[in-house]
Amino acid sequence: MLKIENVRKVYGNGVQYEALKGIDLTVDDGEFIGIMGPSGSGKSTLLNLIATIDTPTTGSIEIDGVNPAAFNQEKLAKFRRRELGFIFQDFNLMPTLTVEENIVLPLTLDGEKVAVMKRALHEVAATLGIESLLKKRIGNISGGQAQRVAVARAMIHQPRLVLADEPTGNLDSKSSKDTMELLEQLNTENRSTVLMVTHDPFAASYCQRIVFIKDGELVHEIHRTESRREFYDKIMYSLREIVGANDEF
C-alpha cells in the first residue's frame, strides 16, 4: 500500500535544516500504524509528504504503486480526493455547511451524481451513528460528534489510505475512546489502511504497529501481539527509552 524509500526532507536555502534523514518504511494493505516521537522529530513532516502536501527533497514515496510526486497539480488534486482520506486534530470542517454537506464534499468536488452521493452519505452516516446530525450546522454539534463527521468525510469515497493527524488531540477522554474504537472498526471491518500520527499512548494502543521517529530518523518499532492494555504498557516503556525524560513530547 505504502512504500517509502530513503526519503530526506531539507528546508532552507542558506542555513539548511534536515527534517527527515533517509526514511524507509513499508505499510501493508489493511494495516493500522501509529507514528510517535518527540516534538520536532519529523512526524508531521513525514505525514505531509505521504499526504502529498509537500514533496521529498530526495527519495520516493509510492502509494499503491503510484508516485504522486510525478503528477501535475490537477492530477494530484484528483488523486488526493479519490485515493486519500484525511482526519485532522482540528476537524477541518466548514462551519457554514451542514454536516451532510461537509461529508459529501469530496464527492461534490468530483462531480459525482446526486443519487450516488445520497447513497454513500446514508451508508457512512449509518455506520458512524450520525444520521440524526445530518441537517445540523457544524457549530451546533459537540467535538466528539464533529470528529465523527470528519471521519465520515474521510471515508465516504472509500479511500485506499486514511491519514490521521492527532485525531484525539482536541477531544475529551470519552470522545477519544469513541474515535479510536471507530477507527479500529473501520480498519478491521472495512480493511481500510490507516496511518496515524499521535503523541497519545492511549490512542496508539489501538494500532497494530508503532514506528518511533526521533531527530528525523526511524529509530524503533513495536508490534501488537498482546492485549491492548499490555500494548499500552509496551508503548509507554518504548517512549521512556526513546524519547527520554528531558524531551518534550
At 210 the pLDDT is: 97
Tell whether 248 is covered by a domain.
no
Cell representation of residue 176: 477519544
Sign of CA dihedral 1, 194, 233, 219: positive
Please tell me whether residues 150 and 194 are part of one structural domain. no
At 190 the pLDDT is: 78
| Spatial separation of the C-alpha atoms in residues 117 and 111, rounded to whole Å | 10
Last residue within a domain, chosen from 126, 158, 190: 158
> Starting from the edge strand earliest in sequence, which strands make up the sheet with 84-88, in order?
84-88, 161-165, 193-197, 32-36, 209-214, 217-223
At 149 the pLDDT is: 92
Give pLDDT tens digits for 186-243. Answer: 888 878 899 999 999 999 999 999 999 999 999 999 999 999 999 999 999 999 888 7
CATH number at residue 41: 3.40.50.300
Please tell me whether residues 72 and 3 are part of one structural domain. yes
| Spatial separation of the C-alpha atoms in residues 182 and 190, rounded to whole Å | 11
What residues of the chain score a pLDDT lower than 50? 245-246
At 247 the pLDDT is: 53
What is the pTM assigned to this prediction? 0.87
> Starting from the edge strand earliest in sequence, which strands make up the sheet with 58-63, in order?
17-27, 2-11, 58-63
Answer yes or no: are the C-beta atoms of 117 and 108 closer than 8 Å: yes
Tell whether 249 is covered by a domain.
no
Interacting residues of 51 by C-beta distance below 8 A, sequence separation 6+:
80, 84, 86, 163
Cell representation of residue 181: 474504537
At 245 the pLDDT is: 47
Q: Which domain holds residue 9?
A: 1-77+161-243
